Amino acid sequence: MKKVITYGTFDLLHWGHISILKRARELGDHLTVALSTDQFNSIKCKESYHNYENRKFILESIRYVDHVIPEDSWDQKIKDVKNHNIDVFVMGDDWKGQFDFLKDYCEVIYLPRTVGISTSKIKEDLLNLQNG
Protein backbone atom coordinates (compact mmCIF):
# COMPACT_ATOMS: atom_id res chain seq x y z
CA MET A 1 0.00 0.00 0.00
CA LYS A 2 1.48 3.33 -1.09
CA LYS A 3 1.04 5.84 1.73
CA VAL A 4 0.96 9.61 1.23
CA ILE A 5 1.18 12.35 3.87
CA THR A 6 0.53 16.08 3.78
CA TYR A 7 0.50 18.83 6.41
CA GLY A 8 -1.53 21.96 7.04
CA THR A 9 -4.04 24.00 9.00
CA PHE A 10 -6.97 23.52 6.59
CA ASP A 11 -9.03 26.30 8.17
CA LEU A 12 -12.25 27.54 6.49
CA LEU A 13 -11.99 24.57 4.13
CA HIS A 14 -12.17 25.56 0.45
CA TRP A 15 -11.78 24.03 -2.99
CA GLY A 16 -8.02 24.73 -3.02
CA HIS A 17 -7.67 22.49 0.03
CA ILE A 18 -9.88 19.79 -1.53
CA SER A 19 -7.85 19.93 -4.74
CA ILE A 20 -4.52 19.27 -3.01
CA LEU A 21 -6.05 16.51 -0.86
CA LYS A 22 -7.52 14.88 -3.98
CA ARG A 23 -4.25 15.12 -5.94
CA ALA A 24 -2.23 13.91 -2.94
CA ARG A 25 -4.53 10.90 -2.45
CA GLU A 26 -4.25 10.04 -6.15
CA LEU A 27 -0.48 9.67 -5.74
CA GLY A 28 -1.02 6.54 -3.62
CA ASP A 29 -3.57 4.33 -1.89
CA HIS A 30 -3.81 6.04 1.50
CA LEU A 31 -3.60 9.67 2.63
CA THR A 32 -2.63 10.82 6.11
CA VAL A 33 -3.12 14.50 6.94
CA ALA A 34 -1.01 15.96 9.75
CA LEU A 35 -3.31 18.73 10.93
CA SER A 36 -1.81 21.73 12.71
CA THR A 37 -3.01 21.92 16.31
CA ASP A 38 -4.21 25.25 17.70
CA GLN A 39 -0.97 25.49 19.69
CA PHE A 40 1.15 24.89 16.59
CA ASN A 41 -0.91 27.43 14.68
CA SER A 42 0.15 30.08 17.16
CA ILE A 43 3.78 29.03 16.51
CA LYS A 44 2.98 29.50 12.78
CA CYS A 45 1.48 32.89 13.72
CA LYS A 46 -1.84 31.65 12.35
CA GLU A 47 -5.18 32.05 14.09
CA SER A 48 -7.72 29.53 12.78
CA TYR A 49 -11.46 30.19 12.88
CA HIS A 50 -12.28 26.51 13.57
CA ASN A 51 -10.46 24.82 16.45
CA TYR A 52 -8.44 21.63 15.97
CA GLU A 53 -11.24 19.22 16.91
CA ASN A 54 -13.63 20.77 14.40
CA ARG A 55 -11.00 21.04 11.64
CA LYS A 56 -10.20 17.35 12.28
CA PHE A 57 -13.94 16.44 12.17
CA ILE A 58 -14.27 18.24 8.83
CA LEU A 59 -11.14 16.65 7.31
CA GLU A 60 -12.17 13.14 8.39
CA SER A 61 -15.40 13.56 6.41
CA ILE A 62 -13.50 14.05 3.14
CA ARG A 63 -13.39 10.97 0.90
CA TYR A 64 -9.70 11.61 0.00
CA VAL A 65 -8.56 11.59 3.65
CA ASP A 66 -7.89 8.25 5.36
CA HIS A 67 -6.22 9.32 8.60
CA VAL A 68 -5.73 12.59 10.50
CA ILE A 69 -2.89 13.05 13.01
CA PRO A 70 -1.89 16.18 14.96
CA GLU A 71 0.92 18.42 13.78
CA ASP A 72 2.35 20.19 16.79
CA SER A 73 5.95 20.94 15.79
CA TRP A 74 8.14 21.74 12.79
CA ASP A 75 10.37 18.78 13.65
CA GLN A 76 7.99 15.84 13.55
CA LYS A 77 8.02 15.10 9.81
CA ILE A 78 10.89 12.54 9.74
CA LYS A 79 9.36 10.71 12.72
CA ASP A 80 5.93 10.78 11.05
CA VAL A 81 7.32 9.41 7.77
CA LYS A 82 9.06 6.58 9.65
CA ASN A 83 6.28 5.77 12.12
CA HIS A 84 3.52 5.77 9.51
CA ASN A 85 5.59 4.04 6.77
CA ILE A 86 5.03 6.95 4.42
CA ASP A 87 6.16 6.63 0.78
CA VAL A 88 5.26 10.10 -0.50
CA PHE A 89 5.31 13.53 1.19
CA VAL A 90 3.19 16.15 -0.57
CA MET A 91 2.85 19.92 -0.07
CA GLY A 92 1.65 22.85 -2.14
CA ASP A 93 4.48 24.49 -4.08
CA ASP A 94 4.40 27.58 -1.87
CA TRP A 95 6.59 25.27 0.24
CA LYS A 96 8.82 24.25 -2.68
CA GLY A 97 12.26 23.20 -1.45
CA GLN A 98 11.45 23.67 2.24
CA PHE A 99 11.11 19.97 2.98
CA ASP A 100 13.74 18.46 0.64
CA PHE A 101 15.51 16.98 3.68
CA LEU A 102 12.74 14.37 3.63
CA LYS A 103 14.10 13.01 0.32
CA ASP A 104 16.31 10.67 2.37
CA TYR A 105 13.17 9.04 3.75
CA CYS A 106 10.45 9.27 1.09
CA GLU A 107 9.47 10.83 -2.22
CA VAL A 108 8.92 14.61 -1.88
CA ILE A 109 6.37 16.20 -4.23
CA TYR A 110 5.31 19.86 -4.36
CA LEU A 111 2.01 20.31 -6.20
CA PRO A 112 0.90 23.59 -7.80
CA ARG A 113 -1.23 25.69 -5.46
CA THR A 114 -4.78 26.46 -6.57
CA VAL A 115 -4.86 30.07 -7.73
CA GLY A 116 -7.68 32.42 -6.72
CA ILE A 117 -8.67 31.04 -3.33
CA SER A 118 -7.17 31.06 0.15
CA THR A 119 -8.39 31.25 3.72
CA SER A 120 -7.05 34.81 4.01
CA LYS A 121 -8.87 35.79 0.78
CA ILE A 122 -12.13 34.44 2.22
CA LYS A 123 -11.61 36.48 5.39
CA GLU A 124 -10.74 39.65 3.41
CA ASP A 125 -13.70 39.28 1.04
CA LEU A 126 -16.12 38.79 3.94
CA LEU A 127 -14.68 41.86 5.67
CA ASN A 128 -15.12 43.94 2.49
CA LEU A 129 -18.69 42.66 2.16
CA GLN A 130 -19.45 43.82 5.69
CA ASN A 131 -17.85 47.22 5.15
CA GLY A 132 -19.83 47.61 1.90
Q: Which of 52, 71, 81, 87 binds ligand C2G (CB under 6 A)?
A: 71
Task: Provide long-range contacts, Cβ within 8 A and 24+ apart, for 54-60.
Answer: 55/9, 55/10, 55/11, 55/13, 58/10, 58/13, 59/10, 59/13, 59/33, 59/35
Q: Which residues are catalytic?
A: 44, 46
Rounded CA gap, 34 and 66, in Å? 11
Residue placing its CB nearer to ligand C2G in the complex, 15 or 85: 15
Q: Which of 16, 50, 69, 96 binds ligand C2G (CB under 6 A)?
A: 16
Judged by DSSP in three states, 46 sits in coil
Tell me how far, at minimum, the Cβ of 42 lies from ligand C2G, in Å. Answer: 12
Q: Which of 92, 102, 106, 108 binds ligand C2G (CB under 6 A)?
A: 92
Q: Report the helix count and the strand count for the chain, using DSSP H and E.
A: 5, 5
**123 near ligand C2G, rule: CB under 6 A:** no
Binding residues for ligand C2G, rule: CB under 6 A, are 7-10, 16-17, 20, 36, 44, 46, 71, 91-92, 94, 113-114, 117-118
